[in-house]
Amino acid sequence: MSAEPLIRIKNVTKIFDLTDDVCEVFDGFNIDIHKNQFVCILGHSGCGKSTLLRIIAGFEEVNEGAVIIDNKVHDKPGKDVIMLFQSFEQLLPWKTVIKNVAYPIFAVGKVKSKKEAVECASDILDEVGLSDFKDCYPHQLSGGMKQRAAVARALALKPSILLMDEPFASLDEKNRREMQELTKNICSKYNMTIIFVTHSIEEAITLADRIIVIGSDSGNIKCDIENRYNINKDIETKKEMISVLTNIMI
């Protein structure tokens, strides 16, 4: 691991102005994340997990502090940081799957022609297991297929950082496990840094190199640990990790 973090969240304060009150989500929040890490963020509803991803993505302004990515202040959306949401409805409904994936490739200038974009999209769809459905429209796909297509569209831009906000929470068990395996393979193959928000301790242990638990008190970090199960793939280590994280989240 390099000494210099890829992502530095420095003294970030985020306050939402409500009708009759204010909500302080973060107060002087700090995290460093290194290149190629797979980090899972755990925490109860309302602790700021999704807000943190939106801040990193550049969708939310901070009141104080800064997000530094690759030694540069990052405060607006860009093609090097892509965010995937829990909702299945991320695709353009009037475009086929392959055109949904090809569109951003051409739009951001990754290739010179639409033909090249379609060729790239075809390769990516094959990689995520959707080559047989490339000419379908989003409404013809299952939830799992829509999420695969959304992942394919994110991969098309070749981001250095992929932010995932509970993307598999609404999937059935079979599709969820398939998408978890696909995500791990993507992280490894593309040397991508992934920050993955989840409510599920087991999902975090299955996926992450590092697990961060955010508390409900202005986004304080309750725990920041290496995932030992990711190194020692044995059931006892998994049980220990589940026990430790369960006690922390109580």
Dihedral of alpha carbons 68, 69, 71, 77, sign: negative
**Sequential DSSP letters for 49-77:** HHHHHHHHHTSS--SEEEEEETTEE--S-
pTM here is: 0.91
| 250 residues of the chain, pLDDT tens digit each | 557 899 999 999 999 887 777 888 899 999 999 999 999 999 988 888 999 999 999 999 999 999 999 999 999 998 899 998 877 677 888 999 999 999 888 887 777 788 888 988 999 999 888 999 999 999 999 888 888 898 888 888 889 999 999 988 888 888 889 889 988 888 888 889 999 999 999 999 999 999 999 988 777 899 999 988 877 778 888 899 999 999 998 7
Assign a CATH topology to domain 1-80+159-227+238-250: Rossmann fold (3.40.50)
User: Is-contact 143 171, C-beta < 8 A?
Assistant: yes
What SS3 class is residue 48?
Answer: coil
Per-residue CA distances from 98 to 130, 141, 179 (Å): 9, 13, 19
Parse the chain into domains and list their residue ranges: 1-80+159-227+238-250, 93-157
C-alpha–C-alpha distance, residues 81 and 110, integer Å: 15
User: Is-contact 193 6, C-beta < 8 A?
Assistant: yes
